[in-house]
Amino acid sequence: MFIIGELINGMYANIGKAIKEKDKSVIQKCALSQIQAGADALDVNCGPASKEPVSDIKWLVEAIQEVTDKPLALDSSKPKVIEAGLKAAKNKTIINSTTADPEKMEIILPLAKSYKAKLIGLTISAKGIPQNKDQRLELAAMIVATCMDKEFPIEDLYLDPIVMPVNVAQAQMRDILESIREFKIISDPSPKAIIGLSNVSQGTCTRSLINRTFLTMAIAYGLDAAILDPLDKDLMDAGISTELILNKHIYCDSYLDAYRRK
């Protein structure tokens, strides 16, 4: 499982404040603690309150790069913000994200290609978030077809079914899980599947439990990557144990320690 740490997001009060006050040490500590906990990459999102997201993302990328070479997932709906992040980044990047809209893909795909970035494609269109599996798969197929047409490597494409909070969309959880499985058979080579995990538990009072239950299920349905809170140790342990049971790691009595030391 490829883990993208979600905590460098201006939506969190401490990060929003650090961005505003240009306090590098808060960001750098947050980066290092997520990596220490097992993150393979870091999501970078200026948050809804940022008034200057183009300069803020540049500042964030530069601050993070002073302490780590891990890949950065540049998280913005604005192509100009993503481009500023790509320009500032010295290491691997993941564009988070494009939608299935042709106009959006027209702008994002050339950026992904010229910066050799991986790409997250959200199954969302101008009509909004899909309400069932068929709508998700239709948008996923559109994204895959456009990538093929524009010669973007499908192995570098991560499809995201858009996880909704279980307390407002309980009837959609099964569709989301089945979408993950079916994304993988859209084409050969296959696109990968990713989710923003914490969305599932927003507004609930048992967040950690719901997060790790959903992660376990999503991995069983073929999930390749997740944006999540790597500081949640029970969550990380659930992910490692699920992969063990699916025969993705060799077993020993101390497999959790052994996995972390890798």
Encoding tokens for residue 101? 């809209």
Residue nearest to ligand THG (CB): 196
Write out the two tokens for 255.
């497999």
Q: Applying CB under 6 A, which of residues 1, 144, 163, 225 lies at the interface with ligand THG? A: 163
Q: Which long-range contacts (CB under 8 A, 24 or more apart) does 172-175 make?
A: 172/131, 172/132, 173/200, 173/214, 175/132, 175/133, 175/136
DSSP 9-77: BTTSHHHHHHHHHT-HHHHHHHHHHHHHTT-SEEEEB--TT-S-HHHHHHHHHHHHHTT----EEEE-S
Does 242 participate in binding ligand THG (rule CB under 6 A)? no
Binding mask 72-111 for ligand THG (x = CB under 6 A): ---x--------------------xx--------------
Closer residue to ligand THG (CB): 50 or 198:
198
- Using the rule CB under 6 A, give the single segment among 52-60, 165-173, 195-203, 246-254 that binds ligand THG: 195-203
Q: Does 68 bind ligand THG (CB under 6 A)?
A: no
Q: Which is nearer to ligand THG, 44 or 259 (CB)?
A: 44
73 - beta bridge partners? 43, 94
- Residue 120 contacts ligand THG per CB under 6 A: yes
Contact between 241 and ligand THG by CB under 6 A: the answer reads no
The piece of 129-137, 192-200, 209-217, 237-245 that touches ligand THG (CB under 6 A) is: 192-200
Chain centroid to Cα 70, Å, comes to 14
* The one segment of 3-11, 87-95, 108-116, 174-182 that binds ligand THG by CB under 6 A: 3-11
Residues 182, 197 contacting (CB under 8 angstroms): no
Shortest distance in whole angstroms from residue 75 CB to ligand THG:
5
Longest dimension (CA), the chain: 52
**How many Å apart are CA 211 and CA 197, to the nearest integer?**
6
Residues near ligand THG (CB under 6 A): 6, 9, 11-13, 75, 96-97, 120, 160, 163, 196, 198-199, 202, 227
